[in-house]
């Protein structure tokens, strides 16, 4: 990575472990990385996209208060009600945890050489796509909806000349900043290639 | 009224239903433990151990609720 690019990246807000946009994240490794490859940017969906399940989990916490109002439930002995409430809270915790890890681990990684898209679908299904930076032809983004405009997130579209012709960083935070960093990296990669530094 | 319900086998049906659901939940929690392990392999972060701990805690909680149901119902 050239000093000017390094300087440009150092000026960016690095973000924390739970941020949806981390620049040069520390102590972070991905199994898809090759030796010597460095993570430049790690993206998740904007944190505001988690609002729906946080609110839902919050409301589900209060559901047991209304259980005795149901005729069938009100006839159950206390020990049955106790187990039912315990089970309910176990389900709510599991739901919230599942949603959180899905958000946390479904990432888009930009390294100094490649773009890696890791998606998890439900339990035990994952999809990993990779494209070289020098194969990227065009990067653009679009923002949609009220939430996207309000919280400043949108989809970053990456057109490539590789087998997978399009990458989408869905609901990425600060899409303008992401696009700018990606463009800088692509330019750098193309310059290096022209200089014949890449074998 | 409650005696009628107990005699009709309603409580037995509820107990069986709850135990089946809870055993399925234990299996689900075990899958979540495995899923978190796989996710940690894909992306290793400083808090990976925390996720592992929470997934195990969820499994222990699920087994605990199942055992409570088995004993108290």
Sign of CA dihedral A138, A143, A148, A150: positive
Q: What is the pLDDT of residue B4?
A: 63
Determine the distance in angstroms separating the CA of B14 from the nearest CA of chain A, rounded to an integer.
9
Burial (Cβ within 10 Å: 0-12, 13-18, ≥19) of residue A154: buried
Contact B51 A101 (CB under 8 A): yes
Q: Whole-angstrom distance between the N-terminal and C-terminal Cα of chain B?
A: 19
For residue B68, list chain A residues with Cβ-Cβ distance below 8 A: 82-83, 86
pLDDT 10s digits, A5-31: 777 777 777 778 888 888 888 888 888
Give the helix/strand (H/E) hosting A11: none
Q: Is A74 on the interface with B (CB under 8 A)?
A: no
Q: Which residue among A25, A93, A105 sits closest to B58, beta carbon to beta carbon?
A: A93
Assess contact for A43 and A117: CB atoms under 8 A: no
For residue A123, give the nearest of B31, B45, B61 by CB distance: B31
pLDDT at A193: 78
Using the beta-carbon criterion (under 8 Å), do B54 and A97 form an inter-chain contact?
yes
Q: Do B42 and A94 touch (CB under 8 A)?
A: no
Q: What share of chain A is helix, strand, coil (3-state, %, to 5)?
A: 45, 25, 25
Whether residues B58 and A32 touch (CB distance < 8 A) is answered with no
Question: Could A124 and B25 be called an inter-chain contact, meaning their C-beta atoms sit closer than 8 Å?
Answer: no
**Alpha carbon distance A185, A35 (integer Å):** 19
Hey, which residues does A153 pair with through a beta bridge? A173
Predicted model pTM: 0.88
| ipTM for the complex shown | 0.89
How confident is the model over B27-64, as pLDDT tens digits?
A: 999 999 999 999 998 889 888 999 999 999 999 999 99
Hey, what are A37's tokens? 């490859």
CB contact under 8 A, B42 and A126: yes
Asked if the model's pLDDT at residue A57 lies above 90, the reply is yes
- Quickly state the pLDDT bin for B8 (edges 50, 70, 90): low
A78 contact B CB<8A: no
């Amino acid at each position: 990575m050239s000093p000017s690019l390094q300087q440009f990246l150092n000026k960016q807000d690095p973000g924390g472990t739970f941020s949806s946009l981390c620049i040069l994240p520390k102590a972070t490794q991905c199994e898809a990385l090759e030796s010597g490859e460095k993570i430049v940017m790690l993206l998740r969906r904007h944190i505001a996209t988690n609002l729906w399940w946080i609110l839902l989990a919050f409301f589900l916490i209060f559901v047991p208060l209304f259980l005795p109002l149901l005729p069938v439930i009100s006839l159950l002995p206390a020990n049955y009600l106790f187990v039912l409430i315990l089970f309910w809270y176990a389900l709510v915790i599991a739901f919230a945890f599942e949603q959180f890890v899905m958000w946390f681990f479904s990432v888009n990684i930009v390294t100094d050489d490649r773009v890696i898209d890791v998606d998890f679908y439900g339990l035990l299904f994952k999809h990993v796509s990779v494209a070289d930076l020098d194969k990227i032809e065009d990067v653009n983004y679009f923002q949609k909806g009220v939430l996207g405009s309000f919280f400043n997130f949108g989809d970053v579209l990456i057109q490539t000349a590789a087998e997978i012709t399009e990458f989408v960083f869905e609901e990425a935070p600060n899409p303008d900043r992401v696009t700018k960093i990606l463009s800088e990296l692509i330019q750098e990669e193309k310059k290096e290639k022209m200089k014949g530094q890449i074998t | 009224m409650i005696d009628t319900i107990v005699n009709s086998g309603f409580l037995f049906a509820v107990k069986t239903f709850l135990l089946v659901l809870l055993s399925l939940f234990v299996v689900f929690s075990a899958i979540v433990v495995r899923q978190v392990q796989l996710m940690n392999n894909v992306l290793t972060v400083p808090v990976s151990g925390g996720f592992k701990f929470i997934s195990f805690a969820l499994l222990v909680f699920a087994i605990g609720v199942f055992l409570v149901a088995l004993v108290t119902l």
